[in-house]
């Protein structure tokens, strides 16, 4: 399932909130169940099946939104987790700007009045970029599996501590409550595997832009200084001879020869440059043009293209993030969200609904109809006043999926009372199903857990089932 960055952040933050241990929990389990039910009611299946990816995605997003709304009312500071980026977001532009200024202010190739054709800074820029391209080309050979490929990024070249600092979030949790701190740490632990490849792409783009900016700064320095200075061109070396320098300079000037139509340098010309002769007014301009074409074709253009590719992959990755649906949390959540959105209206018959009985009914609804089901307990039907029983609409005003009478299994079914309630139920309008539910806890406690007691319990259950069948209804016990 592919989601956008902001959507997967919200879902993972909801997961972090929901999976906290009881001692630091911000929301209780009932909040998660309510969010599941409400999401299923607000986003109906419609023309799509329950297994349709778009429908499941909408349910997950809506459920996360409902949980976050509750959490933000208790801990508004948690909103910050969705809007903070890691330190690499800042370095995407700071590093290239610093490289541009460094190239402009720190480079003079030789000095303000001379162009040294064997300038160490210039040759290091060329060598560094050539090695960088070789490293990128060797990438497929260095990756041993598809998983390594997915997570290979520029941060793998950095020491572990520096990589962790760059990829850590720029926010720090200053929450006073332990729950908020625990949620922040859990969220970051879940979010880091998703954001790490993206931050790696952002860091790669920053490095590419920095390399291009450094070369651009060097060229800007050359051209700007040339406005006020007449360059002298030459070279000097303790270890290199003219023939070796001749081959090197012809290699470096190949792009200019191809693009500007310059003739290759002769050995005699290179030998003359070793003496730093007084050059004519066009010699300095010629070598500035050669260096400009070389850096533009070897560094500035390729690095800018690589940075653009990284940023394009970054934008695509933000819109196509994978949710780990194979983990137990999401497997359970998808099972709950895949259940039918059932509406159950329960009419207790002469049965006060204490907490234990309510929990028994609620557990039965969840167990049989899934977390999507909603139910409502109406006011109990008074014994002997069955004629006043008039089934009410469902909570949302729609016909319920199921309308059921709830009896105590300890009672003996009577046609003039229990039967009359069943007839009133059958006479109610609506297309939903109708049934009889039985609470057997009281009766089971009274007769005990002996074999004879279990036999009597089974006989009483069959008696109710036969009685309900006479009215066209199915009876079942809901608490055992």
What is the tens place of the pLDDT at every residue in 390-443?
876 555 556 677 899 999 999 999 999 999 999 999 887 666 789 999 999 889
On whether the CB atoms of residues 77 and 176 are closer than 8 A, the answer is: no
What per-residue confidence (pLDDT) applies to 199? 85
CA–CA distances in Å: residue 365 to residues 41, 199, 469: 16, 45, 22
Type and span of the H or E element at 477: strand 475-477
What per-residue confidence (pLDDT) applies to 107? 56
What per-residue confidence (pLDDT) applies to 36? 83
| Vertex 71: Cα angle to 67 and 77 (nearest 5) | 135
On whether the CB atoms of residues 310 and 341 are closer than 8 A, the answer is: no
On whether the CB atoms of residues 330 and 324 are closer than 8 A, the answer is: yes
| 410 DSSP 8-state letter | T
Q: Give burial (CB, 10 Å; 0-12/13-18/19+) of 452.
A: exposed
What per-residue confidence (pLDDT) applies to 238? 85
In this structure, what token pair is assigned to residue 156?
């793998």
**Range(s) of the chain covered by CATH 3.40.50:** 340-477
What per-residue confidence (pLDDT) applies to 391? 74
What per-residue confidence (pLDDT) applies to 397? 54
Instruction: Report the C-alpha gap between 437 and 432 in whole angstroms.
Output: 16
What per-residue confidence (pLDDT) applies to 44? 64
At residue 408, the 3 state secondary structure works out as: strand
On whether the CB atoms of residues 205 and 311 are closer than 8 A, the answer is: yes
Segments in the chain below pLDDT 70: 44-51, 84-91, 107-113, 142-177, 279-281, 339-341, 371-372, 392-399, 429-431, 480
* Total Cβ atoms within 10 A of residue 33: 15
What per-residue confidence (pLDDT) applies to 372? 65
What per-residue confidence (pLDDT) applies to 381? 93
State in Å, rounded, how far the first CA of the chain is from the last one. Answer: 39
| 379 DSSP 8-state letter | P
What's domain 340-477's architecture?
3-Layer(aba) Sandwich (3.40)
Give start and end residues of each alpha helix (H) in 230-327: 242-252, 254-260, 267-273, 283-295, 301-319
Report residue 171: phi and psi, to 5°: -90, 155
Whether the model pTM is above 0.85: no
**How does 423-446 read in b/e, with b if 16+ C-beta sit within 10 Å?**
ebbeebeeebebbbbbbbbebbee
Strand partners, 289: none
Instruction: Report the C-alpha gap between 421 and 400 in whole angstroms.
Output: 18
* Total Cβ atoms within 10 A of residue 449: 9
SS in 3 state form for 243-262? HHHHHHHHHHCHHHHHHHCC
What per-residue confidence (pLDDT) applies to 81? 83
Handedness of CA 167, 173, 178, 184 (dihedral sign): negative
In this structure, what token pair is assigned to residue 202?
């952002």
CA nearest neighbour of 407 among 379, 362, 437: 437
Name the maximum alpha-carbon separation found in the chain. Answer: 125
| 448 DSSP 8-state letter | -
Strand pairing class (343-348; 321-322):
unpaired
CA nearest neighbour of 85 among 26, 166, 14, 23: 166
CA–CA distances in Å: residue 3 to residues 135, 140, 150, 151: 32, 27, 17, 18
């Amino acid at each position: 399932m592919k989601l956008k960055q902001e959507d997967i952040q919200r879902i993972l933050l909801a997961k972090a909130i929901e999976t906290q241990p009881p001692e630091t929990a911000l929301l209780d389990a009932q909040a998660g169940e309510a969010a599941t039910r409400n999401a299923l009611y607000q986003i109906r299946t419609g023309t799509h099946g329950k297994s349709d990816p778009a429908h499941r995605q909408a349910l997950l997003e809506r459920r996360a939104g409902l949980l976050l709304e509750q959490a933000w009312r208790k801990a508004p500071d948690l909103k910050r987790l969705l809007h903070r980026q890691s330190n690499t977001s800042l370095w995407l532009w700071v590093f290239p700007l610093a490289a541009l200024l460094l190239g402009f202010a720190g480079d003079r190739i030789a000095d303000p009045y001379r162009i040294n054709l064997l300038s160490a800074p210039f040759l290091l820029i060329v060598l560094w970029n050539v090695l960088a391209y070789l490293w990128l080309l060797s990438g497929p050979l260095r990756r041993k599996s598809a998983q390594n490929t997915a997570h290979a990024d520029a941060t793998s070249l950095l020491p572990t501590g520096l990589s962790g600092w760059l990829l850590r979030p720029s926010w720090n949790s200053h929450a006073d409550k332990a729950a908020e701190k625990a949620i922040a740490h859990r969220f970051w632990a879940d979010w880091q595997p998703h954001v790490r490849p993206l931050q790696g792409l952002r860091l790669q783009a920053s490095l590419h832009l920095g390399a291009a900016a450094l070369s651009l700064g060097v060229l800007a320095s050359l051209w700007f200084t040339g406005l006020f200075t007449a360059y002298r061109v030459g070279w000097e070396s303790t270890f290199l001879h003219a023939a070796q320098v001749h081959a090197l300079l012809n290699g470096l000037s190949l792009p200019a020869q191809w693009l500007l139509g310059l003739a290759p340098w002769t050995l005699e010309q290179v030998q003359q440059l070793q003496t730093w002769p007084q050059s004519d007014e066009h010699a300095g301009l010629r070598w500035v043009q050669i260096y400009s074409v070389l850096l533009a074709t070897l560094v500035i253009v390729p690095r800018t293209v690589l940075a653009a590719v990284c940023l394009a992959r970054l934008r695509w990755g933000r819109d196509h993030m994978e949710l780990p649906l194979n983990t137990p949390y999401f497997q359970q959540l998808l099972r709950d969200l895949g259940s039918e959105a059932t509406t159950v209206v329960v009419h207790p018959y002469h049965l006060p609904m204490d907490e234990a009985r309510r929990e028994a009914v609620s557990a039965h609804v969840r167990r049989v109809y899934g977390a999507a089901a909603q139910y409502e307990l109406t006011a109990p039907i008074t014994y002997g006043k069955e004629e006043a029983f008039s089934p009410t609409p469902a909570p949302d005003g729609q016909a319920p999926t199921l309308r059921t009478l709830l009896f105590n299994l300890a009672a003996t079914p009577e046609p003039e009372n229990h039967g009359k309630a069943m007839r009133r139920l059958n006479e109610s309008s609506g297309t939903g199903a109708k049934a009889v539910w039985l609470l057997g806890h009281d009766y089971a406690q009274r007769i005990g857990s002996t074999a004879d007691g279990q036999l009597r319990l089974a006989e009483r259950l069959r008696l109710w089932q036969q009685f309900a069948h006479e009215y066209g209804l199915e009876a079942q016990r809901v608490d055992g």
